[in-house]
Amino acid sequence: MMKRQLLLALGSILLLAGWMSAFLLRSIPQGSDLYYFVPTLLLAVGMGLNLKILSGRMTAIVIALTAAAAILAINSLFPGEAISLAGLSSKIAHQDKPGKSLTIAVRDTDHNGVFSEERHLQAYADISVNLFARLPGPARMMTSDDVGDIYVSIPKLGAIYLLKDSDQDGYAEQPILFRAGLDRPHGLVWHKDSLYVAETDRLLVLKDTDQDDQVDSEQLILKGLPDDGGHWTRSLAMDQAGALYLSIGSRCNACEEQDERRASVLKVDPTSGSATIFAKGLRNSVGLAFAADGTTLWGSDNGRDMLGDDLPPDEINQLTEGGDYGWPHCFGQQIADPELGSKTACRQTLAAAVDLPAHSAPLGITFGTRLKAPEKFRNSLYVAFHGSWNRSVPTGYKVVRIPFAAGQPAGEIEEFLSGWLTEGKAWGRPVAPLVGRDGNLYLSDDRADAIYRIHWNKGGS
């Protein structure tokens, strides 16, 4: 009898240890690939000992109980991480109240296509949303000029459109074709009287010198960017000194790149066209934005696929010169990739500032500093989740905000606007938020071919 009890206790202890090591495996860097065998061995031996003494049904109950005990123990030891089967500190905070349903205001002339029926969103702020503009193709990145007009890239059409709201009624007039015939233009930056445009393999600067809303001056800044497949989008940001930052995604899901410019952010001198690698190890940093100080660069990064629904996390990174952010060897909090990771590689990389839910596909980001909104909304980073493409249960298709204080993330990710995914199907896909010169938040959508205008009903305090 004593031997039976000892075996049962040993088996349960091994199961508990197996579960705890398995959960820790998803939360700390692994010293070696052999570490993956540790939880498997512990669980297998513990299960075997229990099966010798108990029935299959009772063994299953013991396995479930030890798993629950392991989760409680891990969460007690690491309360800030909230480790669970969902893995990684990438959960979105539950709001105190459910989102308020609002109807997107649409002009009579725009009641067609996606908007032929009434569309609703869930808002977690006192805001209103209207359809600012419909475009002839999938709208991607935006920038605004000194008078508040908005430029939008449509890579699929090789075009850039100009949006004006001359009567200031909250709706753009007919979109103006500003420039056509480009090679998948994506990232846009306005500076002084110039529009900087990132094509897949080139960086250009366009000017409208006679103010007729048409490009009449074009200059090549940089050519020969890698264009050999894989991630083709090129995004842009500019610091307060006038230097450009250009993101170039990887050519693959997970691999060792031959071209060092791949999976990096370049720093480009717009006058000379000289470019150097500013940061690397960034699989696909579609979103780039400077904080209010104009010197601190932040980026969103899309994690790799084919590791299941919950791995790896997507990321928000504070990008520093010379920084290595891990891809393809590591992700998130310096966690080793199960196929390409190593102890040495992970220790030499920088951890993500914020882990986002896996496969959310974070694209454009912007700081809310200039919003006409209450303080907590101004002190936030807004992130557009484009949405998953291969997750068993779709995720994303929303806009979230990350509270900031003293220049750093200062709270859990919070819902801001959702509702583009209904009954498992997406009628829209958010791409990039932009704070307009008027203090409103604008958002592009490349499935609905739309630009939304988000207005705080009570404004700032």
What's the pLDDT score for residue 95? 57
What's the pLDDT score for residue 110? 94
Residue 184: name the closest of 213, 227, 222 by CA. 227
Please say if the pLDDT value at position 373 is more than 60.
yes
What's the pLDDT score for residue 82? 41
**Cα separation values, 152 from 3, 139, 246, 291, Å:** 74, 7, 17, 22
**Cα separation values, 240 from 90, 126, 191, 272, 294, Å:** 31, 32, 10, 18, 5
23 phi and psi angles, rounded to 5 deg: -70, -40
What's the pLDDT score for residue 222? 98
Host H or E run for residue 180:
none
pLDDT category at 27 given cuts 50, 70, 90 is: very low
Residues 6+ apart with CB under 8 A from 223: 201, 202, 203
Residue type at position 234: R
What's the pLDDT score for residue 20? 75
Residues 6+ apart with CB under 8 A from 330: 29, 281, 336, 337, 341, 345, 346, 349
Our measurement of the distance from residue 53's CA atom to the centroid of its chain's CA atoms, rounded to an integer in Å, reads 49
What's the pLDDT score for residue 78? 44
Residue 202: name the closest of 224, 218, 219, 184 by CA. 224
User: pTM for this structure?
Assistant: 0.81
Residue 364: name the closest of 338, 385, 380 by CA. 385
Question: Tokens in use for 29?
Answer: 């860097």
Q: List, in sequence order, every residue forming a beta bridge with 164; answer none if it has no partner.
A: none
pLDDT category at 75 given cuts 50, 70, 90 is: low
According to the 3-state scheme, what is the secondary structure of 231-298? CCCEEEEECCCCCEEEEECCCCCCCCCCCCCCCEEEEECCCCCCEEEEEECCCCCCCEEECCCCCCEE
What's the pLDDT score for residue 9? 81
Residue 408: name the closest of 298, 272, 330 by CA. 298
Note the CATH number of domain 92-456.
2.120.10.30
Residue 173: name the closest of 109, 128, 259 by CA. 109
CA R_g for the chain? 25
pLDDT category at 292 given cuts 50, 70, 90 is: very high
Please say if the pLDDT value at position 221 is more than 80.
yes
What's the pLDDT score for residue 52? 76
Q: For the purposes of burial, counting CB atoms within 10 Å of the CB of 306, is it exposed (0-12), middle (13-18) or buried (19 or more)?
A: exposed
Measure the CA–CA gap between 298 and 283, rounded to whole angstroms: 15
What's the pLDDT score for residue 23? 63
pLDDT in tens, 406-424: 999 998 999 999 999 999 9
pLDDT in tens, 304-355: 999 999 999 999 999 999 999 999 999 999 999 999 988 788 999 999 999 9
pLDDT category at 34 given cuts 50, 70, 90 is: very low
What's the pLDDT score for residue 24? 60
Question: Tokens in use for 350?
Answer: 């920088």
| pLDDT: which is higher, 8 or 186 | 186
What's the pLDDT score for residue 13? 87
What's the pLDDT score for residue 345? 83
Measure the CA–CA gap between 79 and 66, rounded to whole angstroms: 19
Where in 32-165 does DSSP place strands (E)? Answer: 92-93, 100-103, 120-123, 127-134, 142-144, 150-154, 159-163
Longest CA–CA span in the chain (Å) reads: 95
pLDDT category at 91 given cuts 50, 70, 90 is: low
**Cα separation values, 48 from 12, 15, 52, 55, Å:** 10, 10, 6, 11
Please say if the pLDDT value at position 147 is more than 90.
yes
Domain with CATH 2.120.10.30 in the chain: 92-456
Host H or E run for residue 190:
strand 188-191
pLDDT category at 29 given cuts 50, 70, 90 is: very low
Please say if the pLDDT value at position 111 is more than 80.
yes
**Cα separation values, 274 from 189, 221, 266, 271, 296, Å:** 18, 9, 10, 8, 21
What's the pLDDT score for residue 365? 98
Q: For the purposes of burial, counting CB atoms within 10 Å of the CB of 92, is it exposed (0-12), middle (13-18) or buried (19 or more)?
A: middle
Cβ of 170: how many Cβ atoms within 10 Å? 16
| pLDDT: which is higher, 259 or 98 | 259
Look up tokens 């084919």; give the residue.
Answer: 306
Q: What is the mean pLDDT of residues 55-62?
A: 79
**Cα separation values, 359 from 149, 389, 394, 426, Å:** 33, 8, 9, 15
What's the pLDDT score for residue 92? 79
What's the pLDDT score for residue 76? 55
Residue 114 per-residue DSSP state: G
- Mean pLDDT over the full length of the chain: 90
What's the pLDDT score for residue 38? 77
Q: What is the mean pLDDT of residues 426-445?
A: 98
What's the pLDDT score for residue 87? 37
Host H or E run for residue 393:
none
